[in-house]
């Protein structure tokens, strides 16, 4: 078991109830979609996984470590094992593709020799070989998202979180990014992807957890999707 939520609720200081009594488990190697309307609680759940937010009540475990009881000094160690891909890419505009990906390894103090070989490896993995010296403004949206995925993979995470990774892309490019994420999952990385793109979800045949008003309203196994 990689991720466990036990009776997790989150009420923000302004009184907004983001999550209510959420319990779920995600196995190592799974690919799980998080769906639901805006305000359903998807972003809050994702932020809790890398300890940007904490629950008001309940327990969260990632790789058997309690995120609720975790000390502040342990948070960077947690985040080394989690890669995050964002809808708006969040690339450093003044750095090349190579430098953007390398930055993720520099933050954790990776050895120079290890860094170079790993950066080139993940750039090739996401299909950007030959673009190492390009800057973000020289790339298409799909290519920029591939850089974001490469950066998220640089430190060999146990868990890859993709928060609306295709939200700013046309459908053809979105399908390419989706296939890349599925391929990463096939190689053993657990993937949790928040999305509104039902077409991509239905085609992928993976588990789908749906939130609404902070509650889990359905948790469908791949075989159940044909009934939808």
pLDDT digits (tens, 9 = 90+) for 104-162: 888 777 677 778 899 999 999 999 999 999 999 999 999 999 999 999 999 999 999 99
Determine which helix (DSSP H) or strand (DSSP E) holds 85, and give its type and residue range. Answer: strand 82-86
pLDDT at 105: 86
84: nearest Cα among 64, 65, 68, 107: 107
Distance CA 184, CA 154 (A): 12
Are 68 and 55 spatial neighbours (Cβ–Cβ below 8 Å)?
yes
Neighbours of 153 (CB within 10 A): 23
Residue 228's pLDDT is 54
For residue 2, give the DSSP letter: -
Structure confidence at residue 136 (pLDDT): 97
Closest CA to 49 of 154, 153, 215, 161: 161
Helix (H) or strand (E) holding 133: none
Given strand 65-66, what is the order of strands in its sheet? 17-26, 3-11, 57-62, 65-66
The Cα–Cα gap between 25 and 8 comes to 12
- Check residue 206 and report its DSSP letter: -
Ranges under pLDDT 50 in the chain: none
Please list, in sequence order, all residues whose beta carbon lies within 8 angstroms of the beta carbon of residue 118, skipping any fewer than 6 positions away: 105, 110, 154, 156
């Amino acid at each position: 078991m990689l991720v466990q939520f036990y009776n997790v609720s989150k009420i923000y200081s302004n009184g907004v109830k983001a999550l209510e009594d959420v319990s779920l488990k995600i196995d190592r190697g799974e690919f799980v979609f998080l769906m639901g309307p805006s305000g359903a609680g998807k972003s809050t759940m994702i932020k809790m996984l890398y300890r940007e937010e904490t629950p008001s009540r309940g327990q969260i475990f990632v790789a058997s470590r309690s995120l609720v009881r975790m000390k502040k000094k342990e948070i960077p160690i947690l985040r080394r094992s989690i890669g995050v891909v964002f809808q708006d890419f969040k690339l450093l505009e003044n750095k090349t593709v190579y430098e953007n990906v390398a930055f993720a390894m520099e933050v954790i103090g990776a050895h120079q020799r290890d860094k170079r070989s790993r950066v080139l490896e993940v750039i090739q993995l996401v299909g950007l070989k030959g673009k190492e010296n390009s800057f973000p403004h020289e790339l298409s949206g799909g290519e920029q998202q591939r850089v974001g995925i490469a950066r998220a993979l640089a430190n060999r995470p146990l868990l890859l979180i993709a928060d609306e990774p295709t939200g700013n892309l046309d459908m053809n490019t979105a399908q390419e990014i989706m296939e890349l994420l599925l391929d990463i999952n096939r190689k053993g990385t657990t993937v949790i992807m928040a999305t509104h793109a039902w077409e991509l979800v239905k085609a992928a045949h993976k588990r789908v957890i749906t939130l609404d008003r902070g509650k889990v309203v359905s948790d469908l196994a791949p075989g159940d999707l044909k009934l939808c």
